[in-house]
């Protein structure tokens, strides 16, 4: 089978350079060489997270940290903001951890707005909230800085934020926002192989977590902190991922963080323009579109062109490219195109050319 170029919203295409780094020969995870590797990338990770806290590396996908944050921080009750498949599932995960949890949900395609959260937190019932910044299933980017500004009004509520498809795509200054947990995964915005999570935790969250009894071991924030102080991870990590991350950080800083943000903004706009020029409408509410992927409406909402997504996807696959045919309850009534990771104007134009050819075959 020839390799399909991935334009699905994760995993995304991994560069040859990242792969080569991923395949670096193994070292012991308690060796000085490992500590040099881990400690060596901390300054760049802290700059990327915009934090003075240590950035932890977890050998798990993002869900491990999403579940871990619940176990570490929820004592009373958690408010799970729900606006798509990933954020909806976080309510279920909270309950499965045995926590009191309540959902704050909006229609898929709509954003979570700060006033909705304010109203809920004003009840005083909650000591934590979860927010998916960029809801990958709907292509909606929630207004994180407006939401984070509520933190000063509710300092005892732990703000847990998933940035799996927005990290290093848009500016997310962890310390300045004042949020408590910022987490991301390896295989989406960072364009690394799947299997590693990265996260930062506020001092307030570490203090809260210290008082909680049943936080387990594998995702215990204090295990991460204590080991990070010695440039190590609690258990044997995926060392290949850390080599690949080191290589990716070189790429990111060589491009420049601001250039990386503007590249993503430009490419997402190109995809929105491609959709408009082909009479499609967008699924997200206007003004809340993600910068790392585009969720195109195909009948989930009124307006715009409708095609047979499964056939379209198949035609595109025959041209060597994988695109996504919609997630969960909007499968087939939306489709998604990713511009995450290392994509450029050239590679996106190649994608649009293939999409145009396949659209022409459909009618
Ligand atoms: C993909 C994704 C996740 C889950 O990531 P896993 O790596 O499968 O654990 C969580 N949140 C968002 C926003 C995602 O896009």
Which residue from 66, 82, 86, 327 has its CB within 8 A of the most atoms of ligand 1, so it is best to mutate? Answer: 86
Atom of ligand 1 nearest to the CA of 62: 9
Atom of ligand 1 nearest to the CA of 64: 9
CB of 86 within 6 A of ligand 1: the answer is yes
CB of 193 within 6 A of ligand 1: the answer is no
CB of 165 within 6 A of ligand 1: the answer is yes
Strands (E) in the chain, as ranges, are 5-6, 55-58, 78-82, 101-105, 128-132, 134-135, 140-141, 158-162, 181-185, 197-201, 281-282, 293-297, 321-322, 334-338
Instruction: Give mean pLDDT, residues 109-130.
Output: 98
What tokens were used for 359?
């659209």
Ligand 1 centroid–CA 9 distance in Å is 10
- 251-276 pLDDT per residue, tens: 999 999 999 999 999 999 999 999 99
Domains and CATH numbers, the chain: 5-11+257-362 (3.90.1150.10), 16-253 (3.40.640.10)
- 29-79 pLDDT per residue, tens: 999 999 999 999 999 999 999 999 999 999 999 999 999 999 999 999 999
pLDDT at 311 over 90: yes
Cis check: omega of the bond before 149, within 30 degrees of 0: no
CB of 347 within 6 A of ligand 1: the answer is no
């Amino acid at each position: 089978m020839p390799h399909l170029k991935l334009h699905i919203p994760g995993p995304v295409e991994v560069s040859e350079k990242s792969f080569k780094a991923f395949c670096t020969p193994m070292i012991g995870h308690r060796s000085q060489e490992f500590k040099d590797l881990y400690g060596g990338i901390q300054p760049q990770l802290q700059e990327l997270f915009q934090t003075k806290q240590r950035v932890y590396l977890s050998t798990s996908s993002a869900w491990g940290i999403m579940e871990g944050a619940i176990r570490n921080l929820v004592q009373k009750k958690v408010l799970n903001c729900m606006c798509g498949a990933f954020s909806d599932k976080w309510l279920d995960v909270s309950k499965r951890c045995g926590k009191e949890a309540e959902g704050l949900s909006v229609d898929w395609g709509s954003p979570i707005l700060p006033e909705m959260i304010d109203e809920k937190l004003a009840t005083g019932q909650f000591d934590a909230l979860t927010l998916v910044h960029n809801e990958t299933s709907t292509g909606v980017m929630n207004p994180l800085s407006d939401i984070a500004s509520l933190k000063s009004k509710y300092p005892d509520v732990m703000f847990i934020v998933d940035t799996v498809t927005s990290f290093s795509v848009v500016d997310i200054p962890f310390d300045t926002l004042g949020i408590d947990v910022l987490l991301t995964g390896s295989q989406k915005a960072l364009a690394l192989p799947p299997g590693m999570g990265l996260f930062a935790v506020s001092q307030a969250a570490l203090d809260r977590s210290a008082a909680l009894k049943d936080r387990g071991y594998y995702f215990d924030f204090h295990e991460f902190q204590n080991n990070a102080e010695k440039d190590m991870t609690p258990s044997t990590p995926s060392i290949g991922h850390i080599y690949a991350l080191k290589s990716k950080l070189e790429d990111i800083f060589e491009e420049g963080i601001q250039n990386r943000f503007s590249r993503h903004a430009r490419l997402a706009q190109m995809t929105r323009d491609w959709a408009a020029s082909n009479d499609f409408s967008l699924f997200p509410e206007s003004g809340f579109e993600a910068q790392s992927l585009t969720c195109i409406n195909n009948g989930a909402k009124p307006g715009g062109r409708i095609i047979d997504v499964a056939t379209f996807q198949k035609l595109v696959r025959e041209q060597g490219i994988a695109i996504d045919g919609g997630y969960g309850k909007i499968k087939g009534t939306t489709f998604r195109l990713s511009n995450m990771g290392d994509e450029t104007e050239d590679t996106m134009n190649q994608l649009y050319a293939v999409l145009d050819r396949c659209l022409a075959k459909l009618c």
